[in-house]
Amino acid sequence: MVDPYSAKGYSLAGTVKALDGIVPPEVLSPSQGNVDLQSSSELGDLIENITKAESASIVSETISSLLSQSIAQSANLGEILDQFDTSTDFARSETLSKQLYQVARVIKARKALEAERDVFYVELGGFDTHASLQETVASKMEIVNSALDEFVTEMKAQGIWNNVTIVSGSEFGRTLDNNGFGTDHGWGGNTFVLGGSLNGSHVLGQYPWDLAEEVNVGRGRLIPTTSWEALWHSVCQWFGVEDDDMGNVLPNKHNFGNRDLFTKHDVFISPDDE
């Protein structure tokens, strides 16, 4: 059996379903990074008052113990992150730039954190364009482009860009037709992936050349031709997930045949190709 990697999840957007797992993720503030909840902080006295009282209830004692452990681990993370900053100047005028700045700091501290595999979740809302479609998308994409440019520059400066993959995602697509002011909720859409070891400049998946009823359920709501499992299967392989564990990571994988799943060789550059 292969020894598992030291892995951690970090969310810069609060508690999110995407990072649900056996081990809860670290939740960092986009503005502050790690938030100090020790006794010297604003909430310290309240937390200490909650956790110091003993209870006859095993459940209460377990929760109190876990809370104390979490606060101590968070304080340790904060002490480590305080020692690291980026060489790239992040504007941090928008929330995505703030989030990616904190991600870059954690990545820079990877040796001190003894990290081998980390997953980060960042978020930018406001794409629900029922109105002002063109103006909203143009404005949001400027934010995305600027933040990604800063982040990629920093990853290259750290010499780790070839070990980073960024996957974009959305809750739902948009209709192809308009409602007079914008678009409404759809189903199928598209996404982008970027990274230093990516076999880029390719479009994967089946493009619906014919927008007939087979793929169009009305108003340009397209039935997806590619599953999320297809993309994540390739990313998980690149990440180091063994085939025997893939079903645990992608529980819906069995709904799709192997021919419908991308492999790491479809998406990433093989070391032999470099």
> pTM for the whole thing?
0.88
What does the DSSP assignment read for the chain?
A: -PPPP-EEEEESSSS-GGG-SSSPPEE-BTTTBSPP-STTSTTHHHHHHHHHS--S-HHHHHHHHHHHHHHHHHHHHHHHHTT---SS-----SHHHHHHHHHHHHHHTTTTTT-SEEEEE--------SS-HHHHHHHHHHHHHHHHHHHHHHHHHTT-GGG-EEE---S--B-SS--SSS--B-S-----EEETTB--S---S---SS-STTTB-STT-BPPSS-HHHHHHHHHHHHT--GGGHHHH-TTGGGS-GGGS--HHHHB--GGG-
Q: For the segment 89-112, what is each residue's pLDDT rounded down to a tens digit? A: 999 999 999 999 999 999 999 999
Q: Per residue in 24-48, pLDDT tens? A: 889 999 998 988 776 556 677 777 7
% of the chain surpassing 70 pLDDT: 93
